[in-house]
Chain A
């Protein structure tokens, strides 16, 4: 009996199974978060303090963006820095003054790397002193490959931002709109997670329809517009990889976290909105109709993927939410690989995943933390899923072996949140299937000998 059958034969289990493998998997280094964060925070500058290895990664993984005169750079450590012949403080001061002069940012982010960890460079200690000396805010985030994977880089940056005391000058910006009759009275709500501005507007409007006012977003479009965060405010995340940020907001800023599924897919968006409404004691209106409308619109895509199977190799922590949405859309999930699983922060999402499985009468998928890519490829060969969602290191080799793949990185960069963008996810998921349907006339599926 192969694994496919055995998975089908398992009775509908009540509890999710979590496994942990060796952690030998491919993912991007968390410093890659500068790629989207410097675009999001328009008046920022990101300085990655690391080696040539880090620089080469940014330059190669982020391709074209590097040529658009980005607001990020490497502080490339040389032998003198490693052996402490040079003074860290003086070196960083020199570079930051140069950045201040050339780019005039409102804030400089220092991204700590593996090397600064190993040589124990005291970035958190140096930053406040230098900040005072050059009168420019400096925020330190340790987004290194020793501790984190890919999107968790954003988490470290946002957690560092959340720790900053409120900025004085952004106060006036916020109060103006609040008396508007469109809104119900409720405690302030701040959303966290970096998403493109159009998506910010879309989600803000969805909440406005329920009479909910969003007091601010972490991060905001400009550093100077960071929201005022006070004790007792409500906070809610839009991305599944922001557990440190959530913890920081709860413990350091004494905010109340709304633990909701994430607004990915129409089911996720509805559940997210409903949970926020419930907590703010508002009766949600029109959400079911809205969700149905979106599902109807996606009919063509859904008929393509119905009954097809998916395997997540796991590299960006969006896996649970995406799997939950695809299950609802009628797909079968064999395995959800994920770099790191925070069962508390993702609690509501996991619950929704279980509920979805139950309603769709499909077995619960296995969740594999810190997967082992070699073993996974073995399992993929056995199961032969219809689609493997994986990183770019494995995509071409798997395609050559006749297995449809979708690069997982695209989900990080595409707009996938909210009702409006649900269709984008299916556009991505079905692309390999649609493409390969068109290529069917080329005889062989396999383009390599199996070794």
Chain B
């Protein structure tokens, strides 16, 4: 047993559901007790989705515990098959079903005889993998399934497209600034004259998966989800893949150079150097920005970085190589990806922290006292408590990290966004610091709503009970309630405010 207050990565089934619900017309059925379908809430609230989340539960209750699921799962699958007519139904095991050890594969086999849709059992073990690993595996599993299916029916077309083309593997819901990143990548491909073959899984139909081998190469922007699929496609069809995250000016350039290398290797003569140069010096502002006078102030400032391995590594590279900020330590909660992380940024920061214990991270931040933190929502809260400015660079995130406006982290526009994020974190910190030195804003307690003092005809006192009740009211409305109650007491000529008076005042006003 582990005492845990908070976790960076969710349980395995969340990863599977994220993949399934990203595809078009795929329905996921969870084998789970009542209340485990909170994934629907997350998707509907965080992403503000307009459609019903295509996830339902085959509810595990007392009866299932006693007698097994029997026909229930099969019936639920065929019911959804009729109601929604999905292309694919993914049966998703949860922590509960993995201890029940029912033969879910058997249900899948039985259901697929009847159903029009394909039926798959997600191959994830709740106690061995987390959200991201499960998502990675599920994506690979679905791709494999449809490649094999197309092979069997001789529908697999492995001829390359006429013009250079790419598959982008890494577009899903509930991911950090993902929609914007994908739009930015599309723009980049357009600029480089590379056609987009498919983008998976978000918004793609499973029927399109058989076209994957037609692409010249694959791009995996985030290493947490998509690498398994890219490796499978490489092994099976010799499709090369790029796993350099184009985040920051330098990494974007090396990602583009890798594309150039692959294309030249396939006898298309391209040279992207000029494009890289123009983008870096003129279209993106971030390279110039870090040379400008303002950014001199940032030199040698202490920062710490924490997040998933993709974002934490990329951010560390940007801070040290592009901004001249020293990263005291950088870390990731993707423990399984330790060796890659160490290899990437080992020489860019003083220390590397690999942990998923948010308490340890909090303590380490407090010990180092950095000038700025780049982390997840958890680090933002730690920062708030310690009064250190913080920029959010990685999941897990809140609703404010699903912005409506265009906010990519990848590509050249992404570099601009990140430069703003970094700079704004620092100025806020500086401003705060100056305020403290000069005694802060107006700190006097405001007693009356007007600027001049109005005459109180007689003294009003609060009795003890009422005082303690007043203290329980949240700070930001307490003043208003105090004033309103006193106004009410004045009107009623009451000298002492008791609990009764307080509630009477509340009723009178509301």
Partners in one complex: yes
A residues apposed to B, CB below 8 Å: 23-24, 26-30, 49, 51-53, 55-57, 59-61, 63, 66-67, 70, 73-79, 81-82, 86, 91-92, 94-95, 98-99, 114-115, 117-119, 144-150, 197-198, 201-202, 205, 294, 297, 374, 377, 391-397, 400, 419-420, 423, 447-448, 451
Interface hits, B119-148 → A, CB 8 Å: 126-128, 130
Determine the chain B residues whose CB is within 8 A of the CB of A197 once the complex forms: 469, 472
Q: Is the CB of A419 within 8 A of B7?
A: no
Q: Is the CB of A396 within 8 A of B34?
A: no
Secondary structure dominating the interface of A: helix
- Name which of A30, A79, A119 has the most chain B CB atoms within 10 A of its CB: A79
Tell me the complex Cα distance, A294–B508, Å.
10
Instruction: Point out the residue from A55, A114, A205, A448 that lies within 8 Å of B96, measured CB to CB.
Output: A114
Of B8-16, B289-297, B315-323, the one touching chain A: B8-16
Q: Is the CB of B38 within 8 A of A61?
A: yes
Contact mask for chain B residues 2-34; partner A; CB cutoff 8 A; 1 contact, 0 none: 111111001101100000000000000000111
Determine the chain A residues whose CB is within 8 A of the CB of B7 once the complex forms: 52, 55-56, 59
Q: Is the CB of A201 within 8 A of B38?
A: no
Q: Is the CB of B1 within 8 A of A75?
A: yes
Tell me the complex Cα distance, A297–B507, Å.
9
Asked if B42 is at the interface (CB within 8 A of a chain A CB), the reply is yes
Q: Is the CB of B3 within 8 A of A73?
A: yes
Determine the chain B residues whose CB is within 8 A of the CB of A61 once the complex forms: 38, 41
Q: Distance in Å from the Cβ of A208 to the closest Cβ of chain B?
A: 9
Q: Distance in Å from the Cβ of A380 to the closest Cβ of chain B?
A: 12
Tell me the complex Cα distance, A145–B44, Å.
22
Q: Is the CB of A395 within 8 A of B35?
A: no
Please name the residue on chain B nearest to A149 by beta carbon: B34
Q: Is the CB of B44 within 8 A of A56?
A: no
Q: Is the CB of A420 within 8 A of B5?
A: no
Q: Is the CB of A74 within 8 A of B5?
A: yes
Instruction: Point out the residue from A78, A146, A201, A297 that lies within 8 Å of B1, measured CB to CB.
Output: A78
Q: A59-B7, A118-B96, A198-B469 are in contact. Are A395 and B37 (CB under 8 A)?
A: no
Q: Distance in Å from the Cβ of A364 to the closest Cβ of chain B?
A: 28
Instruction: Point out the residue from A59, A66, A81, A397 that lies within 8 Å of B52, measured CB to CB.
Output: A397
Tell me the complex Cα distance, A194–B130, Å.
36
Q: Is the CB of B5 within 8 A of A76?
A: no
Instruction: Point out the residue from A78, A99, A145, A202 that lies within 8 Å of B503, measured CB to CB.
Output: A202
Q: A53-B11, A75-B1, A115-B99 are in contact. Are A146 and B510 (CB under 8 A)?
A: no
When A and B form their complex, which 8 residue pairs have the shortest distance between CB atoms, in order from nearest? A29-B35, A145-B33, A393-B40, A400-B50, A52-B11, A67-B381, A145-B35, A51-B95
Q: Is the CB of B60 within 8 A of A146?
A: yes
28 pairs across A/B with beta carbons < 8 Å?
A26-B41, A30-B35, A55-B4, A56-B11, A57-B38, A60-B42, A63-B398, A67-B381, A75-B1, A79-B128, A82-B99, A86-B1, A99-B3, A114-B60, A118-B65, A118-B99, A145-B36, A147-B61, A198-B469, A201-B503, A294-B507, A374-B83, A377-B52, A392-B44, A396-B49, A396-B50, A397-B44, A397-B53
Q: Is the CB of B503 within 8 A of A420?
A: yes
Tell me the complex Cα distance, A56–B499, Å.
40
Tell me the complex Cα distance, A82–B57, Å.
23
Tell me the complex Cα distance, A420–B49, Å.
37
Q: Is the CB of A51 within 8 A of B59?
A: no
Please name the residue on chain B nearest to A69 by beta carbon: B5
Q: Distance in Å from the Cβ of A407 to the closest Cβ of chain B?
A: 10
Q: Distance in Å from the Cβ of B398 to the closest Cβ of chain A?
A: 7
Asked if B281 is at the interface (CB within 8 A of a chain A CB), the reply is no
Asked if B500 is at the interface (CB within 8 A of a chain A CB), the reply is yes
Chain B: residues with Cβ within 8 Å of the partner, total of: 58
Q: A24-B57, A66-B5, A70-B5 are in contact. Are A145 and B34 (CB under 8 A)?
A: yes
Determine the chain A residues whose CB is within 8 A of the CB of B171 once the complex forms: none
Contact mask for chain B residues 154-189; partner A; CB cutoff 8 A; 1 contact, 0 none: 000000000000000000000000000000000000
Q: A57-B36, A147-B62, A294-B507 are in contact. List 6 more A-B contacts (CB 8 A).
A: A24-B57, A51-B11, A73-B5, A114-B33, A150-B35, A201-B503
Determine the chain A residues whose CB is within 8 A of the CB of B5 once the complex forms: 66, 70, 73-74
Q: Is the CB of A92 within 8 A of B52?
A: no
Q: Distance in Å from the Cβ of B485 to the closest Cβ of chain A?
A: 13
- Name which of B34, B378, B398 has the most chain A CB atoms within 10 A of its CB: B34
Asked if B335 is at the interface (CB within 8 A of a chain A CB), the reply is no
Tell me the complex Cα distance, A147–B34, Å.
8
Tell me the complex Cα distance, A53–B50, Å.
25
Determine the chain B residues whose CB is within 8 A of the CB of A393 once the complex forms: 37, 40-41, 44, 52-53
Q: Is the CB of B61 within 8 A of A23?
A: yes
Asked if B56 is at the interface (CB within 8 A of a chain A CB), the reply is yes
Q: Distance in Å from the Cβ of A204 to the closest Cβ of chain B?
A: 9
Please name the residue on chain B nearest to A63 by beta carbon: B398
Determine the chain B residues whose CB is within 8 A of the CB of A26 once the complex forms: 37, 40-41
Determine the chain A residues whose CB is within 8 A of the CB of B49 once the complex forms: 396-397
Determine the chain A residues whose CB is within 8 A of the CB of B469 once the complex forms: 197-198, 201
Q: A28-B35, A397-B50 are in contact. Are A91 and B1 (CB under 8 A)?
A: yes
Q: Is the CB of B472 within 8 A of A74?
A: no
Q: Distance in Å from the Cβ of B108 to the closest Cβ of chain A?
A: 19
Please name the residue on chain A nearest to B380 by beta carbon: A67
Asked if B245 is at the interface (CB within 8 A of a chain A CB), the reply is no
Please name the residue on chain B nearest to A72 by beta carbon: B5
Asked if B191 is at the interface (CB within 8 A of a chain A CB), the reply is no
Q: A26-B37, A117-B65 are in contact. Are A75 and B2 (CB under 8 A)?
A: yes
Asked if B280 is at the interface (CB within 8 A of a chain A CB), the reply is no
Contact mask for chain B residues 473-489; partner A; CB cutoff 8 A; 1 contact, 0 none: 00000000000000000
Q: Distance in Å from the Cβ of A426 to the closest Cβ of chain B?
A: 10
Tell me the complex Cα distance, A171–B42, Å.
46
